[in-house]
Amino acid sequence: MTGHFDTIIRGGTVVTAGDSVRCDVGIRDGKVAALGIDLGTADRVIDAAGKLVMPGGIDSHVHISQPSGEGIVMADDFESATRSAAFGGTTTVMPFVMQEKGVPLRSTVEAYHKLAAGECHVDTSFHLIVSEPSEAVLGQELPALVEDGYTSFKIFMTYEGLALNDREILEVLDTARGCGALVMVHCESYDAIRYMTEKLEREGRTAPKYHATSRPKLVEREATHRAIAHAELVDVPIMIVHVSNREAMEQIRWAQQKGLNILAETCPQYLVLTEADLDGLGMEGAKYVCSPPPRDRDSQDACWEGLRTGVFGVFSSDHCPFRYEDEKGKQNPKGRTSFRWVPNGMPGVGARLAILFSEGVMKGRLTPEQFVALTATNHARTYGLYPRKGTIAVGSDADIAIWDPERKLVLSHDHLRDGSDYTPYEGLDITGWPILTMVRGRTVVEDGRLVGEKGHGTYLPRDRSPYAVQAKAEA
């Protein structure tokens, strides 16, 4: 198709999960309308010579405005989190709606919609967190919500008030199989962590670094194996989120090689941080408290291996930001008495793509096509947004990030524009940066400036995951 377009991106290399092709992109009415050369005229022509034209990132694991315990407040609301996403080249984020016990899930979903409405710079779509799998929730609430496009939910194997026991996990998986939902599982063993935490506290070992000691690799490995066994028993796919180390990765690879439909995700903190980062002066280590914790060099190597070989299909940030210099954040009064009370999580939605591009593509560990698959296409496919999102193809939303593969910078919190007051990746040498981010054809960030207005980001109900649809058909 030639003719007149709203925008033409000219002269760049268009990268998708399958190919890299030198061609122009014609955009009309927020969609990719043509790919080719000599496309015609446009209201705006963007010169992308020497640049990579890639699908905007999809971050399928972020936490925004989530209740996080008494006196603790997340550092990002929908405005600041989606702003940071846009600065980092991400055009869709998928936050969680946390079920509150005794409250209808539907009303909590509505409350999150109110928080997001009119605030977002990029598109959003919600997962649910199931903390109370009552008969009503399993029998009525979840199936109805799945029908309405909330097609994935997360469950926890650890945390007071959140951890489900094995029977409950099996019931949730069974419900998911019946209604075609995809379950994301946080695999760490609650009782083992409680045992370790209480032991460390009795010994007076309460500094932030003991957070990592309290949840060693085997705690993650054991829970990963158990979750896989439950999924095998129920015969349903699961997504194992935020995998941190070789032992857990090997459990997943073993299951995949056995033919089980086990999907998996890893995150930037497991590629570039280690447990040593938690061992700072005073409370500095609190900045790096997240679960599972960053591990060691061999774990980093394993996560790279998993990304390269397809054990991990998605690379997400697990953005879960708390301010450091803040009594409502990392340095809350109880947190200063024990690692147990330091809020779990770190900001990452703005830094995710640059870290994988710089450390992965520019250092020869991943191809540009693998980068696109891991950061956009596979998220869209896995969570029911493909082909509207996650690729550059005629008919897809024009969600595009133009990357300068030669742009060098030393990463600092100033680049990221989130609501936190630090980045755990401060000082990292970066090569490659998104210089323009476009959401449905409208430029949101250009040359380090926010040029879009909040409210452009829209909400996306999702189809069922193709992995879960297959299980439902067999149910």
CA atoms within 13 A on the CB side of 311: 27
- Residue 230 near which of Zn ion, ligand DUC, none (CB within 5-8 Å, type-dependent): none
Q: Is 76 in the site for Zn ion (CB under 5 A)?
A: no
Q: Is 318 in the site for ligand DUC (CB under 6 A)?
A: yes
Is 235 strand, coil or helix? coil
What is the token pair recorded at 394? Answer: 């005629």
In the complex, the smallest distance separating the C-beta of residue 159 from Zn ion, rounded to whole angstroms, is 9
Restricted to residues 235-294, the positions that interact with ligand DUC (CB under 6 A) are 241-242, 291
Q: Is 188 in the site for Zn ion (CB under 5 A)?
A: no
In the complex, the smallest distance separating the C-beta of residue 146 from ligand DUC, rounded to whole angstroms, is 21
Which CB sits closer to Zn ion, 51 or 186?
Answer: 186
Cα separation of 261 and 105, whole Å? 28
Q: Is 318 in the site for Zn ion (CB under 5 A)?
A: yes
Restricted to residues 418-457, the positions that interact with ligand DUC (CB under 6 A) are none
**Quick one: angle between helices 217-234 and 190-202, nearest 10?**
160
- Residue 224 near which of Zn ion, ligand DUC, none (CB within 5-8 Å, type-dependent): none
Which CB sits closer to Zn ion, 275 or 397?
Answer: 275
Q: Is 359 in the site for ligand DUC (CB under 6 A)?
A: no
Cα separation of 130 and 138, whole Å? 10
In the complex, the smallest distance separating the C-beta of residue 75 from ligand DUC, rounded to whole angstroms, is 13
Query: Per residue in 359-380, is it b (16+ CB within 10 Å) or e — as a string?
Result: bbbbeebbebbbbbbbbbbbbb
Which CB sits closer to ligand DUC, 10 or 242?
Answer: 242
Catalogue the E-assigned strands of 234-391: 238-240, 262-266, 314-315
* Stretch touching Zn ion by CB under 5 A, among 184-192, 193-201, 347-355, 386-394: 184-192
Residue nearest to Zn ion (CB): 186
Q: Is 128 in the site for ligand DUC (CB under 6 A)?
A: no
Which CB sits closer to ligand DUC, 313 or 345?
Answer: 345
Catalogue the E-assigned strands of 48-179: 52-55, 57-62, 90-98, 123-124, 127-129, 152-156
- Asked if residues 255 and 261 have their Cβ atoms less than 8 Å apart, the reply is no
* Stretch touching Zn ion by CB under 5 A, among 73-81, 274-282, 314-322, 346-354: 314-322
- Asked if residues 40 and 294 have their Cβ atoms less than 8 Å apart, the reply is no
In this structure, are strands 3-10 and 24-28 parallel, antiparallel, or unpaired? antiparallel
In the complex, the smallest distance separating the C-beta of residue 241 from Zn ion, rounded to whole angstroms, is 6
Q: Is 186 in the site for Zn ion (CB under 5 A)?
A: yes
Which CB sits closer to ligand DUC, 87 or 96?
Answer: 96
Which residues fall within 8 angstroms of residue 53, CB to CB, at 6 or more apart?
9, 12, 13, 14, 15, 25, 392, 400, 402, 403
Nearest to 129 by CA among 57, 228, 61: 61
In the complex, the smallest distance separating the C-beta of residue 41 from ligand DUC, rounded to whole angstroms, is 47
Q: Is 345 in the site for ligand DUC (CB under 6 A)?
A: yes
Q: Is 186 in the site for ligand DUC (CB under 6 A)?
A: yes
Q: Is 344 in the site for ligand DUC (CB under 6 A)?
A: yes
* String marking each residue 320-339 x if it binds ligand DUC according to CB under 6 A: x-------------------
- Residue 127 near which of ligand DUC, Zn ion, none (CB within 5-8 Å, type-dependent): none
- Asked if residues 213 and 205 have their Cβ atoms less than 8 Å apart, the reply is yes
Which CB sits closer to ligand DUC, 344 or 423?
Answer: 344
* String marking each residue 38-67 x if it binds ligand DUC according to CB under 6 A: -------------------------x----
- Residue 222 near which of Zn ion, ligand DUC, none (CB within 5-8 Å, type-dependent): none
- Asked if residues 268 and 320 have their Cβ atoms less than 8 Å apart, the reply is no
Which CB sits closer to ligand DUC, 242 or 379?
Answer: 242
- Asked if residues 130 and 99 have their Cβ atoms less than 8 Å apart, the reply is yes
- Residue 344 near which of ligand DUC, Zn ion, none (CB within 5-8 Å, type-dependent): ligand DUC
Neighbours of 137 (CB within 10 A): 21
What is the token pair recorded at 464? Answer: 């069922």
What is the token pair recorded at 297? Answer: 């060099």
Which CB sits closer to Zn ion, 68 or 396?
Answer: 68
What is the token pair recorded at 244? Answer: 């941190």
Binding site for ligand DUC (CB under 6 A): 63, 186, 241-242, 291, 318, 320, 344-345
